Amino acid sequence: MELASKGVRVNSINPALVDHTNIFERAGITGDDYDKLREHMKEANPLGRVGEPADIAQAIAFLASSNASFVTGEQFHVDGGSHAVCAR
C-alpha cells in the first residue's frame, strides 16, 4: 500500500500442481509416485485436471497488462478451483 500512489501494484499467483515443471522431481517425487499424485490431484480438482504452464502464464500476462491496471493486493489462485474446495 506504501507504493500504490506511485502506481506500483503487487499481486501474487498461487498455482496448484502444474504439469511439465520440476517442482516434484526436486522434492524427490518421481516415476510412479508422481503419476499417483498427479492422478489424485486430477480427481480432487473441480475442473478434473492439473494445470498447464500456459494457465499460469495467461494469469501473469493479465496481471502485467493494462487490463489489470486497477488490480493490486490480490492473490490469484490459478488452481482449477482447488482453493475454493479447501477454503470451505
Domains and CATH numbers, the chain: 4-87 (3.40.50.720)
pTM reported for the whole predicted model: 0.82
DSSP-derived secondary structure letter, 79: S
End-to-end CA distance of the chain: 29
CA 3 vs CA 8, 54, 74, 75, 76: distances in Å: 5, 30, 15, 18, 20
pLDDT of res. 2 = 87
pLDDT of res. 47 = 95
| Positions of the chain with pLDDT under 50 | none
Residue type, 88: R
Distance CA 32, CA 19 (A): 15
